[in-house]
Amino acid sequence: GQQLNQSPQSMFIQEGEDVSMNCTSSSIFNTWLWYKQDPGEGPVLLIALYKAGELTSNGRLTAQFGITRKDSFLNISASIPSDVGIYFCAGRPRVDTGNQFYFGTGTSLTVIP
């Protein structure tokens, strides 16, 4: 199956700092999603991206669909303690009925107050 490389694997930052994480694939994706997962809960959708080069914001979060269509980036500005969790990227190789999303390995974010 498709491999998504997500980095960094974990981050420890001070409250107020900005955060950047990225996801790369070996093949072209047509859709990129970013999710956040809190312990014991399901992934919650943060941002969805559908076009190469697209830059989308959701509050303090900004994500970009890489121009090569093989990568995506998520930035969090001015981090706060509730940003703690695991962030997953997910990508779909083609737009078609039922085609699966492949998930990255996750970035664990710890925010130190």
Partner 1 sequence: EPEVTQTPSHQVTQMGQEVILRCVPISNHLYFYWYRQILGQKVEFLVSFYNNEISEKSEIFDDQFSVERPDGSNFTLKIRSTKLEDSAMYFCASSGGLYSNQPQHFGDGTRLSIL
Binding interface with partner 1 (CB under 8 A) = 1, 30-31, 33, 35, 40-45, 48, 50, 88, 90, 92, 95-106
Give min distance, CB of 16 to partner 1, in A. 29
Amino acid at 14: Q
Give min distance, CB of 107 to partner 1, in A. 11
Task: Using CB atoms within 10 Å of the CB of residue 77, give its burial: 0 to 12 exposed, 13 to 18 middle, 19+ buried.
Answer: middle
Using the minimum distance from each CB to partner 1, give the nearer residue, 40 or 113.
40
Residues linked to residue 62 through DSSP beta bridges, in sequence order? 57, 75
Q: How many CB atoms lie within 10 A of CB 101?
A: 17
Using the minimum distance from each CB to partner 1, give the nearer residue, 52 or 101.
101
Phi, psi (deg, nearest 5) at residue 81: -55, -35
Using the minimum distance from each CB to partner 1, give the nearer residue, 66 or 104.
104
Give min distance, CB of 82 to partner 1, in A. 18
